Amino acid sequence: MALKIAVSGKGGVGKTTVAGILSRLYGREGKRVLVLDADPASNLASAIGVPKEMRGRIVPLSKMLDLIEERTGVRPGSSYGGMFTINPKVDDLAAKYAVEGKDGVRLLVLGTISTGGGGCFCPESALLKTLIKHLVLEKDQYMIMDMEAGLEHLGRASSRNMDVMIVVVEPGMRSLETAEKIKDLASQIGIKKVVAVLNKASSVEERGLVEEELRKAGLPLAATIPYNRRLVEADLKGVSPLDLEGTEDVVAAVRDLKDSLE
């Protein structure tokens, strides 16, 4: 069965880098891969090699007001005095709105809900939650979701029913404390497999210290990605690390992660 993977962590730790490389490695194996960008920063398109001119035309689903009104019966931002559909039709959205990156990977940008609080029950929320539930049930398609930073998405349980949650960490106590909280909340909503990936590791000693803290938190370390300045260059150029020379060590680490998940 094709895995459904959520990638989480504190802001700036490299979630999008991990999600982008991982999805393309699956794509290179001939797997059907759909990636969901649920991060407000919305940088996953460049990480999977979507051309710049196409990236500029992407509209997040949460901002498609006409679509949301059509499917739920209520326009976002209007009064919710009337009832709206809580299980709207979503089975055609991936085919209609996903854009293709390299290695056959397709991308859906979900966007975020900015009205009434992040956890509101509103038309946007109904559409996105129903869509994610639908996509989780597609057995022959790998799905990788780049989550928003922090813990709010777990409060909304938008990652419920995923097979595995990857928590990306960097050397630093704030990152490790966030990872421990994510692990606990993920367990509460029924995600049975939660693993950590250490990014930006600059020494064996650093890895040892982080691994010990993760062990205390009950978080197994699935892979270690070495610190590599070329990732900064890839980000500045808006290209995938897979398309830049000098990132072979990073790609090899994510490949080890992929193998461990399987």
Instruction: Report, as an integer, the average pLDDT of 194-200.
Output: 96
Of the two residues 83 and 178, the one the predictor is more confident about is 178
Q: Say how many domains are in the chain.
A: 1
**Closest C-alpha to 87, from 141, 143, 130:** 130
Ranges of beta strands (E only) in the chain are: 4-9, 33-37, 99-100, 106-109, 142-146, 164-169, 193-201, 221-226
**What's the pLDDT band for 121 if we cut at 50, 70, 90?**
low
Global pTM reads 0.91
The domain of 230 spans: 4-261
Please report, for the domain that includes residue 22, its CATH number. 3.40.50.300
The phi, psi pair for 243, rounded to 5°, reads -105, 15
Provide the phi-psi class of 75: left if phi over 0, else alpha when psi is between -120 and 50, else beta.
beta
Instruction: Report, as an integer, the average pLDDT of 196-209.
Output: 94
What type of residue is 200? K
106 DSSP β-pair partners: 34, 100
> 46-101, pLDDT tens digit by residue?
999 999 899 989 999 999 999 999 999 988 877 655 578 889 999 999 999 999 99
Instruction: Report, as an integer, the average pLDDT of 14-32.
Output: 96
6 DSSP β-pair partners: 145, 165
Strand order in the sheet with 99-100: 99-100, 106-109, 33-37, 142-146, 4-9, 164-169, 193-201, 221-226
If you search the block for the tokens 């991936």, which residue do you land on? Answer: 94
